[in-house]
Structure 1
Amino acid sequence: MLPLVAGVLVLVGCAVVFELVSYRALELIPSVATEEFPEIDRELLGKFSSFDPELGWCPQPNREKQKDTGDHLPGEEVRSVVTYSTDEYASRVCPAAERDPDAELTVSTYGDSYCFCREVDNDETFQHYLAQELDTHVANYGGGNYGLDQALMRLKRQYPDDPTDHVFMVVTASSIARILSVWKHYQEFGNVLAVKPRYVLEDGELERIDSPVDEKVDLLDLESKADVLREYDFHYDHWFEPHFATRPYTAAFLEKNEHVRYAAYTAGKELERRFGRSLPGIDFDLAQTQSALRLERPRVRYHERLFETHEFLFDALVEEFVDYAAEREFEPTFVMVQQLRYATYESEHGPIYGDLLERLADRYDALTTIDMATHLVPDDGDVESLYVERGEGGHYSPETNAEIAQVLAAVVEERAVAE
């Protein structure tokens, strides 16, 4: 009898250990949610310097930050630190040309982190290269993780103080998900500080739903706003709940081989960090990045479906951009750029937004549309070569930004000839 009891206790103990290990592993996997309301400590909140009660978050004026992109091993000399600087308008600085109130040509850009040009220095952004091409200052009002909705809100707030002849709206296809979001955690698990306003359509008209967070300290108690967050964030029902891990965690962890691979590569990176040296035989950083891209495939397909079901809201926001351009008398250009996770998927399946750009061009005579994927085609077909080699999320490299600048400069020059 005693051996049987001992055996049962051993099995129970092993099951408990496996459950704990599996839960910890699931916490590291970006495609799995383990908590609806993770605790936010005050130290993390204190670092959230970009909080904005109107937009959710926004770059602040006259700031300079240096960001380690991660392109080095522990103990090695840091080789890839980029500098992000903003001017008095909270625009990223444009080293190629200073602001000139008497300039004959003025240009501004709005959008997400691909507009802001994360992971490259101030003099490696497409705005810097565009300023060189056009010999004029180019404002950069990109915001990390912005959707078309927030970019449009920022345009309406900023433009009266910084009017320009040309406005480029530069976003990625993930905007289709971002415009349906109120709390990013419901679709980008762990992004717990990002609470935002959004637009909804009521009787065919855009109606703004303000952010439920008025003060930064309110982020410490988001559970008290659960009803509002769940009601207005489309992804709560359609993405968060289907990806919310529940017991038994061991089964959830082992459900996909990619979970195990990602956890193993993450453990390898942690070992390298602890020992301060690389382990021979495998590049854990590269392997983890590639595993993360494979884990992202379901999200890309989800976004593809959103273009089929919610394109009407996206179209309404573009129409608002065109109407605002007519009201303020500037030349509007809508630019679709690609995140790395879309580029690798779309190279095999075609653009997830279908014929969106063609339809927008046909619908709005005043709007110029650019599908940057049709301009950025590597000779060898290696789309990953367009992006920085390592770092936070595969943003465009300086060389690619220079190519983008040439495409945008051609738009401005063609308009000048047409006039």
Structure 2
Amino acid sequence: MLPFVAIAIALAGGIVVLEVTSYRALERLPSVATEEFPEIDRELLGKFSSFDPELGWVPQPNREKQKDTGDHLPGEEVRSVVTYSTDEYASRVCPAKDRDENADLTVSTYGDSYCFCREVDNDETFQHYLAAELDTHVANYGGGNYGLDQALMRLKRKYPEDPTDHVFMVVTASSIARILSVWKHYQEFGNILAVKPRYVLGDDGLERVESPVDEKADLLDLESKADFLRAYDFHYDHWFEPHFATRPYTTDFLEKGEHLRYAGYTAGKELERRFGRSVPGIDFDRAQTQSALRLEQPRVRYHERLFETHEPLFDALIEEFVDYADDQEFEPVFVMVQQLRYAKYEADHGPIYGDLMERLDDRYDELTTIDMATHLSPDDGDVESLYVERGEGGHYSPETNAEIADVLAEVVEQRAVVE
């Protein structure tokens, strides 16, 4: 009898160890949610310096931050630190040209982190290169993780203070998901501080739903706002719930081979950092990035479906942009750029936004549209070469930003000829 008891205890112990190990591994996976309301401590909240009760978050004026993109091991020389600086307008600085209130030509840009140009220095943004080409300051009002909705809200708040002749709205295709979001955690697991307003389509057109968070301290008790968050965030039912891990966690973890690969690469990176040396012949950082991109493919397909089901809301936001341009008398330009995960998918399947750009061209004579994917096509088909080699996940490289500036400069020059 005793041997059977020992075997049973050993099996039970093994199951517990597997469950704990699987849960810890699932916590690391970007494609799996393990908690609906993760704890937010006051130390983390204190670091959230960009909180804004009206927009959710926004870059602050007169700030300089240095970001280590992670391209080094402990004890090695830090080779990949980038500097982000903002001016008194909370626009990212434009080293190529200072502001000039008497300038004959003025340009501003709004959008997401691809507009802000994360992972490159101030003098490597497309705004910097564009300013050099046009010989005028180019304002950069991009916001990390912004959708078309927040970018439009920021435009309406900032434009009266900083009016320009041309406004470029620069976003990625992920905007289709972001405009349906109130709490980013429901679609980007772990993004727990990002609570935002959004627009919905009502009988009279766009209606703004304000953020449920009025003060930063309210983020400490988001569970008390659960009903609001679940009701107004489309992704709670359609993405979060289907990807929420439940017991037995071992089954969820072992469900996909990619889970095991990602966990293995993550463990390899941690071992390298712990011992301060790399494993010869294995680039764990690159392998983990590639694994993460494969895990992201279902999200890309999900966004592709959203363009089929929620085009009316996206179109209404574009219409609002065009109407605001007409009211304020500036030249509106809508620019679609690509995240790396979209670029790799679309290379084989075509754009996930379908015929959006063609429809906008047909509908608005006064709107210029630019599908940047048609201008950034490497001869060898290697779309990864357009992006920074390492770091947070695939923003455009300085060389690509220079190409983007060429495209945008041509638009401004063509508009000048038409006028």
TM-score w.r.t. length of structure 1: 1.00
Instruction: Give runs of aligned pairs for residues 100-111 of structure 1, distance below 5 A.
Output: 100-111=100-111
Unpaired stretches in structure 1, ≥5 consecutive residues: none
Gaps of 5+ in 2: none
The corresponding residue for 2:358 is: 358
Q: How does 1:349-388 map to 2 (within 5 A)?
A: 349-388=349-388
- The 5 A counterparts of 1:1-20 are 1-20=1-20
| 1:356 CA drift (Å) | 0.2
CA contact (8 A) 1:109 1:169 kept: yes
Counterpart in the other structure of 1:252: 252
Give the Cα separation in 2 of the matches to 1:111 and 1:21.
40
Q: How does 1:246-325 map to 2 (within 5 A)?
A: 246-325=246-325
Letter aligned with residue 252 of structure 1? D
Match of 1:91 in 2: 91
- Secondary structure of the corresponding residue to residue 354 of structure 2: coil
Give the AA of the match of 1:366. Answer: E
Cα pair 1:181 1:198 within 8 Å, conserved: yes
Question: Tell me, what secondary structure is at the counterpart of 2:136?
Answer: coil
Following superposition, the deviation at residue 203 of structure 1 comes to 1.1
Deviation at 1:204, TM superposition (A): 4.8
Amino acid at match of 1:12: A
Identity of aligned pairs, percent? Answer: 87
Report matched runs for 1:73-92 at 5 Å.
Answer: 73-92=73-92
Letter in 1 for 2:243: H
SS of 1:207's equivalent in the other structure is: strand
Query: Shift of residue 71 of structure 1?
Result: 1.2
> What displacement does 1:337 show?
0.1
User: Aligned pair 1:234/2:234, yes or no?
Assistant: yes
> Which amino acid in 2 is paired with 1:321?
F
Deviations 1:43-65 (A, max 9, x none): 00000000000000000000000
The CA distance in 1 between the partners of 2:235 and 2:23, in whole Å, is 23
Q: CA deviation at 1:74?
A: 2.0
How far apart are 1:281 and its partner, in Å?
2.6
Rounded to whole Å, the distance in 2 between the matches of 1:127 and 1:20 is 48
1:8-407 alignment, distance < 5 Å: 8-407=8-407
> CA RMSD, aligned part only?
0.5
Residue-by-residue CA offset, 1:204-228 (whole Å, 9 max, x unaligned): 5100000000000000000000000
Task: For 2:117 and 2:281, locate their aligned partners in 1 and report how far apart those are by CA, in whole Å.
Answer: 33
Instruction: Find the aligned partners of 1:84 and 1:27 in 2 and give their Cα distance.
Output: 30
Q: Given that residues 54 and 211 in structure 1 are in contact (C-alpha distance below 8 angstroms), is that contact kept between their aligned partners in structure 2?
A: yes
Secondary structure in structure 1 of the residue aligned to 2:336: strand
Alpha carbons 1:183, 1:229 under 8 Å: kept? yes
Contact 1:75 / 1:277 at 8 angstroms: preserved in 2? no
Secondary structure of the equivalent of 1:97? coil
Number of positions where the alignment pairs a residue of Structure 1 with one of Structure 2: 419
Deviation of 1:73 (Å):
1.7
Q: 2-side partners of 1:133 and 1:359: how far apart? A: 30
8 Å contact from structure 1 (residues 99, 137) kept in 2? yes
1:168 shift after superposition: 0.1
TM-fit CA distance, 1:370: 0.2
Taking structure 2 as the reference length, the TM-score comes to 1.00
Rounded to whole Å, the distance in 1 between the matches of 2:278 and 2:73 is 7
Q: Distance in 2 between matches of 1:345 and 1:80?
A: 27
3-state SS of 2:102 partner:
coil
Counterpart AA for 1:285: D
Question: In the TM superposition, what is the alpha-carbon distance from 1:184 to its structure 2 partner?
Answer: 0.2
